[in-house]
Amino acid sequence: MSAIPEDFVRKTARLSEEVTRPFPSSTKLYIQGSRPDIRVPLRQIEQTPTLTSGTPEENPPIPVYDTSGPYTDPAAKIDLLKGLPALREAWILERDDTEQLDGPSSEFGRARQADPELAHLRFEHIHRPRRAKPGRNVTQMHYARQGIITPEMEYIALRENCRLQELREDPRYSKLLRQHPGESWGASIPEEVTPEFVRSEVAAGRAIIPANINHPELEPMIIGRNFRVKINTNIGNSAVTSSIEEEVEKMVWSARWGGDTLMDLSTGKNIHETREWILRNAPMPIGTVPIYQALEKVDGKAEELTWEMFRDTLIEQAEQGVDYFTIHAGVRLAYVPLTADRVTGIVSRGGSIMAKWCLAHHRESFLYTHFDEICEIMQAYDVSFSLGDGLRPGCIADANDRAQFAELETLGELTKKAWEHDCQVMIEGPGHVPLHKVKENVDKELEDCFEAPFYTLGPLVTDIAPAYDHITSGIGAANIGWYGTAMLCYVTPKEHLGLPNKQDVRDGIITYKIAAHGADLAKGFPGAQLQDNALSKARFEFRWEDQFNLSLDPERAREYHDQTMPKEAHKVAHFCSMCGPNFCSMKITQDVRDYAAKQGISEDEALEKGLEEKAMEFRKQGAEIYKKA
C-alpha cells in the first residue's frame, strides 16, 4: 500500500458518494441460478400506490437490467485497491483446462512489473495470469460447440430475461406487460432466453460472450442480435490530458449509467498500469485496441511496427484480462488506394496505422498474414475478436463506398477463419452514414460475415453538428440497432472536438441507452415495453417520484423538474408546471374516467346508455372539479 502515493489512494480508493449510492427507490436483487454461485444482479424499482381512485391501487416493482455492478449494492464492500470479487474464478477452475503461469509471459508485461519506478502507479494485487493448457481451447464458443452450457451462459439467460417469466404469472403485471409486436428484420428473438438458447447462439457465432479467463471479476453478458441491444462506452487518457484516477472513476460512472462494455482507448503513458486498475475493478467486459499500445512502443512510427511486437502486446493484454481486442486485420494493401478520393480519407486510427504500414512496406499487414497465430492467442485466453473497420467512412460523403465494403468482405473471410479456431467474433461498423443508407450496412454485414454480431459506432446521420454528435449518432444508432446491430458504441458530445468529461460520458451513455432501448422496443424484445408502460402510467397518475425513479436518469429528471417547481409538495401535485393548476389534459382525462366510474359503468357504456340524459348532471359536477385543485 505504501507504494501508492496518498493522493492517488484517497481519490481512487474512495469513490464519491454520488457514483456509489443506490438508485432512488431501487433494490438490488440477485436472481439465484442452478448453483449457489450463480447470482445474477437485477435492479428493482419500487413504486408508490395509485391514490387517485378511492382505494389505493398497488403498483408492483419494476425489474430492470442492471449493469452497475457491486457499486450500487449497499451490502458490497468496495475497495478499489483490492478490486472486485472474482465471481467467475470457480467456474474457470472447475473446467480444469487452464494453468496458472508464474508471471506475465509477455516481454513488456515482465518489464513493467520489474520496473521500480512504476511501483507508485501499480495495482497492488496483481494475479498471476492463467492460460489454456497446451492443446486446450477455452473459449465460450468452443464449449458451446461441444454442447456445454457454461455457468456464464446460464447467468446470461437469467440476466436477459429480467424475471419476465415470473412476472407473466403475476396478475399485477398483466396490463403492464402489454407490448406491440415487433419488426425484427429476420432476427429470431425467443419468448424466453434459456441457457440452451444462449449456447446455441454462441455456437452458431450469432452471439459472443466476451469473458477473458483473466477477468474473473466480470458479470457475464452477451452480444447478439437475438438478445437485448447493448452499448459500449469508451474511456481513455491521451498524451495531452487525463490520469488513472479519472479513468477508473469514469469506468464506474459508465457502469452506473448503463454501459454494457467498456473500451479503454488510452494512448498516453502508463496505459499498462491504468488498464490493470480498470480491469480489476470492472464488472463489465473491457476491450482495447492493442495496436495503439504497440505504436507507443515504436514512438508513433507506424512503419516500424512488427508482428513480434504486436504479438507481445496481445499476450501482455490478454494476460491482464482484456475481454475483446479490436484488430484491424481487414485493411488490405489493395484497399488503401480506394480511399484516396474520399473527402476524409481514413479516419480510423487503427486503420490509418495499418494503411501506413502497408504502403511503407508494400505488403499485406502482419495482422492479415498472421491471423491464424492471432487466433491461437485469442483462444488461449478467450479474448473475443472485434474485427475493426479501419476503412470506415469519416463523413456522409464517404459512406458505403467501395473501400468500406471491400474491407467488410475481408472481415467476413476472417470471421470464418476465426471460427475455425472456435474464436468469438464481432464485426465493427461505421461511422458516418445518411439515414437511408444505414440498413444496407446491416444487411451486408449479416450476409458477408455470416450473422456474426455487428458492433457499430453511431452512425452519425449528418456531419454538421459537432458538439451534438451524441445526438446525430444516436439517431443512426437507434436505427441500426433496430435493423440488427447487436451493440452500439456510444459517442459523446465532445466527439471530434475534445476529450469527454464526466457529464459528456453521462450524456453519451443515456443517449445510447435510449437508442438501444428504442431498438429493443422496435424489435419486440419480450418485456422491453414494461418500463415504458410503468413510467407512462406513473406519469398519467402524477406519481412524480415514480416517474423520476423509473427513468433512465432519475437524478436529472428530478433536477429538471425542480428547476421549475422546486417544492416538495409539487412532487405530489396533480398538475405540472407546463399548464398550471386549472388546466391539465391528464387531469381532464382522469376526471372523465372518474365520472364514468362513479356511475358504476364504464365510460363506454355511459356514452352508449345514459350520457344524453345525464349530460346536465355531469355539467354541474364537472364544473366543480377544478375548484378543488
User: Residue 167 CB, nearest distance to a second copy (Å)?
Assistant: 16
Q: Which of residues 126 and 601 has its CB atom nearest to a second copy in the complex?
A: 601
CB of residue 475 vs a second copy: minimum separation in angstroms? 5
- In this complex, which beta carbon is closest to a second copy, that of residue 147 or of residue 337? 337
Q: Is 234 annotated as a binding residue?
A: yes
556 is in an annotated binding site: no
Q: How many CB atoms lie within 10 A of CB 18?
A: 10
Q: How far is the CB of 338 from a second copy (least distance, A)?
A: 9
- Grid coordinates belonging to 319: 494476460
Of 503, 504, 506, 485, which is closest to residue 495 (Cα–Cα)?
504
Has 392 been labeled as part of a binding site?
yes
Q: What angle do CA 562, 61, 601 make, to 5 degrees?
A: 90
Q: Is the N-terminal amide bond of 171 cis, ω within 30° of 0?
A: no
Say whether 348 counts as a known binding-site residue. yes
Query: Whose Cβ is closer to a second copy: residue 303's or residue 420's?
Result: 303
Report helix, strand or coil for 115.
Answer: coil
Residue 496 known to bind ligand: yes
Select 112 or 517, whichever has its Cβ closest to a second copy. 517
390 known member of a binding site: yes
Q: How far apart are CA 490 and CA 251, in angstroms?
A: 14
462 φ, ψ (degrees, to nearest 5): -155, 160
428 is in an annotated binding site: yes
Which of these, 321, 309, 320, 318, lies nearest to 378 by C-alpha position? 318
292 marked ligand binding residue: yes
Q: Binding site annotation covers 65?
A: no
| Distance from C-alpha of 5 to C-alpha of 620, rounded to nearest angstrom | 76
Q: To the nearest whole angstrom, how small is the minimum distance from the Cβ of residue 586 to a second copy?
A: 7
Distance in Å, CB of 42 to a second copy, minimum: 17
Q: How far is the CB of 284 from a second copy (least distance, A)?
A: 21
The smaller minimum CB distance to a second copy, of residues 206 and 349, is found at: 349
16 is in an annotated binding site: no
Name residues whose C-beta falls within 8 Å of residue 174's C-beta, 6 or more positions apart in sequence: none
The neighbour count for residue 437, using CB atoms within 10 Å, is 16
Q: Closest separation between CB of residue 243 and a second copy, Å?
A: 14
Q: Is 391 annotated as a binding residue?
A: yes
328 is in an annotated binding site: yes
Residue closer to a second copy by CB (options 49, 466) is 466
DSSP letters, 363-412, are S--HHHHTHHHHHHHHHHHTPEEEE--TT--SSGGGTT-HHHHHHHHHHH
Compare residues 209 and 584 and give the one whose CB is closer to a second copy.
Answer: 584
**Closer residue to a second copy in complex, CB, 314/478:** 478
Q: How far apart are CA 607 and CA 592, in angstroms?
A: 11
Q: How far is the CB of 111 from a second copy (least distance, A)?
A: 21
517 is in an annotated binding site: no
In the complex with a second copy, the residue whose CB is nearer, 49 or 580, is 580
Helix (H/G/I), strand (E/B), else coil: 171: helix
CA–CA separation, 182 and 485 (whole Å): 15
- Ramachandran angles phi, psi of 284, nearest 5°: -110, 160
CA-wise closest residue to 286 among 232, 357, 349? 232
Which three cell numbers, joined as nine digits, stand for 438?
A: 444505414
β-strands 223-224, 487-489: how paired? unpaired
Compare residues 80 and 478 and give the one whose CB is closer to a second copy: 478
Number of Cβ atoms within 10 Å of the Cβ of 384? 26
Closest contact distance (angstroms) between CB of 93 and a second copy is 40
Considering the complex, what minimum distance in angstroms separates the CB of residue 439 from a second copy?
Answer: 10
Measured from the CB atom, the residue of 155 and 257 that comes closer to a second copy is 257
SS3 assignment for 177-225: CCCCCCCCCCCCCCCCCCHHHHHHHHHCCCEECCCCCCCCCCCCCCEEC
Q: What is the closest distance, in whole angstroms, from the C-beta atom of residue 524 to a second copy in the complex?
A: 8
- Residue 610 and residue 281: Cα distance in Å, rounded? 66
- Which residues are annotated binding-site positions for Zn(2+)? 432, 496
- Which residues are annotated binding-site positions for substrate? 234, 263, 292, 328, 348-350, 389-392, 428, 455
- Which residues are annotated binding-site positions? 234, 263, 292, 328, 348-350, 389-392, 428, 432, 455, 496, 576, 579, 584
- Which residues are annotated binding-site positions for [4Fe-4S] cluster? 576, 579, 584
